[in-house]
């Protein structure tokens, strides 16, 4: 065994120079990595492999045996056999890491979609069909239909649900406004115009979101993150810089979209405040001749003296 090890050490040391020359000419032939470089060839065949062969030779000296021919032949073909095996092992690890990363990204995307759906799920939200606007659609509703259609075409379904919420708030506020004021009153027209201005401002935000979403529609953030997750040893410096710049553009756009969505949330809150304030306005004349508290007090007095109206038994 020690003779075999000593022969393998000699054979392995003899092959370092040929493999180093081959690697300097074509690094891909001498290295199992996906993106080999010449300095990796020098490091591998001028330092690592000679050190390994020297360690094997020093280990084999304990027995004092002569180097064997099978060990020498094994050392000669060792690198030629090791390179394809290591290349397969690296590819297997890369595929497993890719599957694991894709599963994590998909789970994160599902969790984010579920969270957005949970946050966006509100009672009384009417879904707006961009292809078939309501028959009584005014300027605001038509603008909302166009905004939702463009958001869906840009692939931003997560923000398209906000259009439905704004549409529901708008119709609700108009309903409360119509129940509190007459359409011929100046207050009605003033409040309606202000509500429309708020909604049209939100439509402008939706249009800005569409423009920004279209700007990064061709960028695949999952692909960029997978490439960056493979490690710096698999990417060149220029490719890493380009991928990081692309990821920064996507993240900046996402932050801008979230800011515009926050502005629309402020518009939704303003519409909610308006509907609550309008619902508190009392415009109808009271039908009761006395107040409710006074009527309850009189009713209690009547119940207390109800026994006076009973007929005595014979």
Model confidence over 28-57: pLDDT tens digits?
888 888 788 888 888 888 888 888 888 887
Instruction: State the CB neighbour count (10 A cutoff) for residue 256.
Output: 14
Alpha carbons 254 and 262: distance in angstroms, whole number: 12
**Is residue 66 located within the same domain as residue 153?**
no
The residue among 71, 50, 74, 54 whose CA lies nearest residue 3 is: 71
Structure tokens at 2: 């020690």
Is the pLDDT assigned to residue 102 strictly greater than 70?
A: yes
**Is residue 65 located within the same domain as residue 163?**
no
299 part of a folded domain: no
Higher pLDDT, 20 or 242: 20
pLDDT of residue 204: 92
180 part of a folded domain: yes
Q: What is the mean pLDDT of the chain?
A: 79
Alpha carbons 9 and 56: distance in angstroms, whole number: 6
pLDDT average, residue stretch 90-112: 85
- State the residue range of the domain holding 56: 2-100
Q: What is the DSSP letter of 122?
A: -
* Percent of the chain at pLDDT exceeding 70: 79
What CATH number does the domain containing 207 carry? 1.20.140
Higher pLDDT, 215 or 234: 215
Q: What is the DSSP letter of 309?
A: G
311 part of a folded domain: no
**Is residue 34 located within the same domain as residue 139?**
no
**Is residue 80 located within the same domain as residue 171?**
no
**Is residue 188 located within the same domain as residue 266?**
yes
pLDDT average, residue stretch 125-137: 77
Is the pLDDT assigned to residue 221 strictly greater than 70?
A: no
Alpha carbons 196 and 194: distance in angstroms, whole number: 5
Instruction: State the CB neighbour count (10 A cutoff) for residue 260.
Output: 19
Interior/surface letters 117-133, b for 16+ CB within 10 angstroms, e for the rest: eeeeeeeeeeebebeee
Residue pair 130/149 in contact by the 8 Å Cβ criterion? yes
Alpha carbons 93 and 81: distance in angstroms, whole number: 19
289 part of a folded domain: no
Higher pLDDT, 209 or 293: 209
**Is residue 269 located within the same domain as residue 139?**
yes
pLDDT of residue 190: 86
288 part of a folded domain: no
For residue 30, count CB atoms less than 10 angstroms from its CB and return exposed for 0-12, middle for 13-18, buried for 19 or more. buried
Count up the domains in the chain and report the number: 2
CA 307: distance to chain centroid? Answer: 74
Residue pair 151/160 in contact by the 8 Å Cβ criterion? yes
Q: 167-184, pLDDT tens digit by residue?
A: 888 888 888 888 888 878
169 part of a folded domain: yes
**Is residue 93 located within the same domain as residue 173?**
no
Instruction: State the CB neighbour count (10 A cutoff) for residue 195.
Output: 21
Higher pLDDT, 261 or 298: 261
Residue pair 143/200 in contact by the 8 Å Cβ criterion? yes
Residue pair 35/239 in contact by the 8 Å Cβ criterion? no
Four-residue CA torsion sign, 144, 149, 154, 157: positive
pLDDT of residue 36: 83
Provide the whole-model pTM.
Answer: 0.52
pLDDT of residue 275: 85
Residue pair 279/176 in contact by the 8 Å Cβ criterion? yes
List of residues 6+ apart from 37 with CB closer than 8 A = 27
**Is residue 81 located within the same domain as residue 142?**
no
**Is residue 146 located within the same domain as residue 258?**
yes
CA distances from 227 to 102, 247, 288 (A): 11, 11, 75
Q: What is the DSSP letter of 68?
A: P
**Is residue 270 located within the same domain as residue 188?**
yes
């Amino acid at each position: 065994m020690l003779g075999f090890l000593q022969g393998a050490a000699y054979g392995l040391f003899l092959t370092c120079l040929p493999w180093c020359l081959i690697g300097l000419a074509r690094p891909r032939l001498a290295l199992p990595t996906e993106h080999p470089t010449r300095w990796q060839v020098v490091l591998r065949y001028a330092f690592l492999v000679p050190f390994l062969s020297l360690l094997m030779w020093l280990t084999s000296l304990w027995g004092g045996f002569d180097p064997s021919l099978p060990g020498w032949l094994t050392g000669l073909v060792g690198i030629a056999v090791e390179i394809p095996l290591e290349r397969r092992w690296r590819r297997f690890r890369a595929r497993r890491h890719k599957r694991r990363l894709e599963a994590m990204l998909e789970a994160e995307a599902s969790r984010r979609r579920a969270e957005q759906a949970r946050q966006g799920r509100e009672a009384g939200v009417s879904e707006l069909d961009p292809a078939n606007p309501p028959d009584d659609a005014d300027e605001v509703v038509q603008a909302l239909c166009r905004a939702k259609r463009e958001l869906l075409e840009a692939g931003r379904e997560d923000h398209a649900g906000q259009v439905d919420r704004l549409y529901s708030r708008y119709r609700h506020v108009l309903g409360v406004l119509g129940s509190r004021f007459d359409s011929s009153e100046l207050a009605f027209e003033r409040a309606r115009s202000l509500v429309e201005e708020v909604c049209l401002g939100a439509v402008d935000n939706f249009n800005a979101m569409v423009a920004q979403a279209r700007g990064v529609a061709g960028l695949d953030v999952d692909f960029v993150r997978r490439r960056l997750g493979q490690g710096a040893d698999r990417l060149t410096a220029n490719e890493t810089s380009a991928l990081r710049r692309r990821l920064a553009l996507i993240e900046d756009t996402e932050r801008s979209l979230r800011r515009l969505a926050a502005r629309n949330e402020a518009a939704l809150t303003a519409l909610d405040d308006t509907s609550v304030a309008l619902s508190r306005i009392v415009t109808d004349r009271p039908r009761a001749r006395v107040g409710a508290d006074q009527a309850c007090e009189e009713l209690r007095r009547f119940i207390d003296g109800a026994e006076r109206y009973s007929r005595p038994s014979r």
